[in-house]
Each structure stands twice: as structure tokens, then as C-alpha cells.
A = this chain, B = another copy of it.
Amino acid sequence: MTNQIDNLFKHIDSKKSHYIERLRKAVEIPSVSAEAEHRKDVFKMIDHAQKELETLGAKCEQIPNGKQTLPDGQVLDLPPVLFGTYGSDPKKKTLLVYGHLDVQPARKDDGWDTEPFKLTEKDGKLYGRGSTDDKGPVLGWVNALEAMKELGIECPVNIKFVLEGMEESGSEGLDEILIAHQNTFLKDVDFSCISDNYWLGKNKPCITYGLRGVSYYCIEIQGVKQDLHSGVHGGVVHEALNDLIWVMSQLVDNDGKILIEGLDKLVAPLTKEEEELYEKIDFDVKSYADDIGAKKLISMDKKQILMNRMRYPSLSLHGVEGAFYGPGAKTVIPSKVIGKFSIRTVPNMEPKEVDKLVVSYLNKLWSKRGSPNHFKPIPLQGGRSWVGDTKDANFTAGRNALVKVFGVEPDYTREGGSIPVTLTIKELTKKSVMLLPIGASDDMAHSQNEKINVSNYIEGTKVLATYLLELGKV
């Protein structure tokens, strides 16, 4: 077995330029889901991925995905979701692999140093839109299976691929398709793996076992029936924006403490075991603060900062709809304003219970305000938090793979932001879902100069192959 792994790793190393070439071809297809003129390229990319999987021997099917109506009224075909079946041996367990083939928009003059749709290698980094989000990780699976095939290593699990083309545009249609296939394509799934997030830092691999949820709120305040001129009417009306600003000022203090009563009581208590996970994580607060350009963080303590990002709720104010937002000066008294804020939720905050506490707190504030204006707190649809079991067979296989490739224990992290497909897959399969990131924290997904390190791409291929072999042991 050790020999097998050594051979596999050597073989993967020897195919480096072939894998880079594979990524180059994928990056060349500008599959930007958010831009109508690139919709055809998303379809092209789905076809391209299908060919890659079929070359390996997978059976593929494109699941049609209806229409999309853009805000300007234009109607576009949604790209199909690509289902791929690699092996269907009833004696083997089945792994579900999710990934996406669409990318964020990119133009050279957005501030890219290279052509975004031309993969460019420089200093051990592969620059290009989609290199790390998420074409590189998806092709990592293709590389891994190809390498095993080339070496005559049988894949010990069946794999079901779910590859979509609308992830960067809200995964439109995906949930409906997955729900419709709960008892068919998804029926025999034993575990799932998603490679669509990033290491916490630049040097040490991690496994992600949790996601914060989000509960989003609007505060609607209607004053007089139309916008008024502040010169003519200022000083006599109860201004809706004054009310709103006051209400919004009562939600969170300067230290990030949420002022909504009862919310902290919903948060799962910290166990000694969980606390130790944060202590072990390789994370430099100072360099994190420098990266985001913060002079000072709410705390400069590593464990506290990690827990604030991963396991405690946070409240952020996002903005105001209906008020003046342009540059310059406008002397309007806005008639109706809508304040926006959201709470990142964690176990055991049930969205419904959070909504109840928030609305009740807002109503209490409002009666304290004593304004004659019309007040309406509106909870929007949110997403719940998720935590996996780091001790289960799926996570154990992931951990063993990382140890074999990198020679170190991975960090166990939770993500502050939501990755909604994780929850959908978890709910539909009722089995373990693991997030196994390939890229590093500085890959600049969604930003200019997106890249994946050659080493992350190649070692990642090894991790995915090893993970498959490890899954065969459970």
C-alpha cells in the first residue's frame, strides 16, 4: 500500500504539465454565469466537463434547468446541471462530489495583471479566472481518477458528480433539481465532499466542518407620504431616516457585541474539546489584520478572533434603501427608508427563534422611540448554520489523506460565510458532508488576479486520490 501511494504521488508529479494544460483549456472558456453574453460559454464549459468525465469512463447526463428572467426582462436558458456516474458497483460505497463550472466576471482592465481567461504561470502560481474557484478543484478529481486509472488502481468507491453552472449567480435551479432526484440519483450516496472553499492560511491544509448561517432583516419605516424638501419642511416632521438611524444604532455596540436580548442564550456552549481545535489552528492575527487592511481588530487574541469568525454570531449593518446614496449633496427628507442588517448564526440558533427575538427587540425599540411613523420589521429568508462530525468515517478519510500528502495534522475550521449547497446535500442525503479545500487563503477568488498555486493544484490532486483510497477502507 505504501508503495502504491508512493507510485501514485510520483505519477501525479510527473503529469504536472498535463494537468496544467487541462486547467488552461478550462480557464479559456469564459463561463461567466452572471453575464448574458457569456451564457453560451457556460453551456460550452458543461459540455467540456462532460467530455473530461466521459473520457474517464463516467456516464453523464445533463439535467435541464429551465429559464432565467433577468431584471431587464431578458429571458435566458439556464445551463443544465451535469450529473456524472463513475462506477456503480453495489458492493462499493458511493461518494457524492459537488463542484461548479461557472466563474465570476473578469476583465483585464478591472485591474488584472494578466489576461483573466488565459492561464498564466508565474512564480509557481497559475493566474486565471476560475483557476481556484472552482475549475482547479473540479479538475483535481479528474486528474486523480485519471492517475489511478493510468496506474491500474481501482477506485474503491462509486462517485456521483454534481457539477453546476450557476453557482456564482445564486445556484439558480440547483436545489429544485437535487430535490427532484433525492430518491434516484442521490439515493445511494454514503458521503459527500465539496472542494469549493479555501485554507485558512497559505501554508497549512485544513478540513472545514462547519458553516455559519445567516438571518437577514429589513427595517421599513414610512414617514410622510412623499419625499420632502428639507428646507421647506425640515424641523416639523418626524423624519423616517432619523428614526431608522436611531434604531440601527441600537443593534450592536462598538465591540461587536450584539444588543438583541436573548440571542446569546441560543449559542451552543463551548466545549473543552472544541476550544482545543481553535488553539491548534495555525493562524496569525497580525497578518490577517494586515491582509484586510484593519488597523485594529475587535480582539488581537488568536483564539478569540477564530471563534468570532467561526462559532459566535455576528451582526453587520449593510445599508439603507430609499435614502440618498449618491455622491455630492441632496437635501431630501426621504419618505420611506429600509435599513438592512444581518446576523451570522451558529449552532444552536434556530432561524425561527432568532427571527422571534429580533422582531420582538425591534418592536420594543420602536415603542421606546415613540415616533408616529409606520414601522415594520421584516425577516427575510435566511440559511441555517451547519456543523459536521469531525470523527466520522468521511472526515477521517479526509484527515488521513491530508496527513499522507502533507505530513501534518490538518486544522479543523468552520467558515463564517454560508455555502448553501452544503446544507441542501446534507438534508437530502442525510449523510456526512465534508468540505475539503484545495486552494490557499490568498487565492483571491472573486477578485482580480485569481490564482491557484501549482503546488496546491498538484498536491490537491494527490489529496483527492488518497481520500478516495482512504474511503475504500471504511
Question: Which A residues have a C-beta under 8 Å from some C-beta of B?
Answer: 212, 214, 216, 223-226, 228-239, 241-243, 245-246, 248-249, 252, 254, 256, 292-299, 305, 308-309, 312-321, 323-327, 329-334, 340, 342, 344, 369-373, 380, 415-418, 447
Report yes or no: A231 in contact with B214, Cβ–Cβ below 8 A.
yes
Q: Which of B237, B248, B323 contacts A292 (CB 8 A)?
A: B237
Report yes or no: B292 in contact with A228, Cβ–Cβ below 8 A.
yes
Report yes or no: A318 in contact with B331, Cβ–Cβ below 8 A.
yes
The distance from the CB of A9 to the nearest CB of chain B, in whole angstroms, is: 32
Supposing A296-B372, A372-B295 touch, asked if A233 and B323 sit within 8 A by C-beta, the answer is no
Residues of B within 8 A of A327 (CB): 321
Report yes or no: B246 in contact with A249, Cβ–Cβ below 8 A.
yes
List, sorted by A's number, 27 A–B pairs whose CB atoms are closer than 8 Å.
A224-B293, A225-B293, A230-B314, A230-B344, A231-B344, A232-B415, A232-B417, A233-B309, A234-B344, A235-B312, A235-B344, A235-B416, A238-B296, A238-B297, A241-B317, A241-B319, A245-B248, A245-B317, A246-B249, A254-B369, A295-B372, A316-B333, A319-B332, A320-B323, A320-B325, A323-B325, A329-B340
Report yes or no: A305 in contact with B236, Cβ–Cβ below 8 A.
yes
Report yes or no: A229 in contact with B417, Cβ–Cβ below 8 A.
yes
Kindly report which residue of chain B lies nearest to residue A293, judged by CB atoms: B225
CA distance A343 to B238 in the complex (A): 15
Residues of B within 8 A of A316 (CB): 230, 234, 239, 241-242, 331, 333
Q: Which of B245, B319, B415 contacts A324 (CB 8 A)?
A: B319
CA distance A308 to B313 in the complex (A): 44
Residues of B within 8 A of A214 (CB): 230-231, 331
Report yes or no: A256 in contact with B236, Cβ–Cβ below 8 A.
yes
The distance from the CB of A232 to the nearest CB of chain B, in whole angstroms, is: 5
Residues of B within 8 A of A330 (CB): 318-319, 340
Kindly report which residue of chain B lies nearest to residue A342, judged by CB atoms: B331
Q: Which of B229, B249, B369 contacts A245 (CB 8 A)?
A: B249
Report yes or no: B238 in contact with A298, Cβ–Cβ below 8 A.
yes
The distance from the CB of A320 to the nearest CB of chain B, in whole angstroms, is: 6
Report yes or no: B344 in contact with A297, Cβ–Cβ below 8 A.
no
Residues of B within 8 A of A226 (CB): 292-293, 447
Kindly report which residue of chain B lies nearest to residue A307, judged by CB atoms: B235
CA distance A371 to B295 in the complex (A): 10
Pairs A-B, 8 closest by C-beta atoms: A231-B417, A225-B293, A235-B314, A319-B324, A319-B323, A249-B249, A234-B314, A296-B372
The distance from the CB of A331 to the nearest CB of chain B, in whole angstroms, is: 6
Residues of B within 8 A of A313 (CB): 235
CA distance A334 to B325 in the complex (A): 13
Which residue, of A239, A309, A321, A380, has the highest number of chain B Cβ atoms within 10 A?
A239
CA distance A370 to B416 in the complex (A): 26
Residues of B within 8 A of A312 (CB): 235
CA distance A312 to B234 in the complex (A): 10
Kindly report which residue of chain B lies nearest to residue A216, judged by CB atoms: B329
Supposing A231-B416, A245-B317, A319-B320 touch, asked if A294 and B238 sit within 8 A by C-beta, the answer is yes
Known: A238-B294, A320-B325, A321-B325. 6 other contacts (CB 8 A): A230-B344, A235-B256, A235-B314, A237-B297, A237-B298, A331-B417
Kindly report which residue of chain B lies nearest to residue A369, judged by CB atoms: B254
CA distance A416 to B236 in the complex (A): 11
The distance from the CB of A41 to the nearest CB of chain B, in whole angstroms, is: 25
Kindly report which residue of chain B lies nearest to residue A317, judged by CB atoms: B241
CA distance A369 to B255 in the complex (A): 10
Q: Which of B223, B234, B238, B417 contacts A315 (CB 8 A)?
A: B234
Kindly report which residue of chain B lies nearest to residue A374, judged by CB atoms: B295
CA distance A93 to B237 in the complex (A): 44
Report yes or no: A373 in contact with B243, Cβ–Cβ below 8 A.
no
Q: Which of B296, B319, B415 contacts A325 (CB 8 A)?
A: B319
Residues of B within 8 A of A418 (CB): 231
CA distance A354 to B213 in the complex (A): 46
The distance from the CB of A190 to the nearest CB of chain B, in whole angstroms, is: 29
The distance from the CB of A344 to the nearest CB of chain B, in whole angstroms, is: 5
Residues of B within 8 A of A315 (CB): 234
Kindly report which residue of chain B lies nearest to residue A313, judged by CB atoms: B235
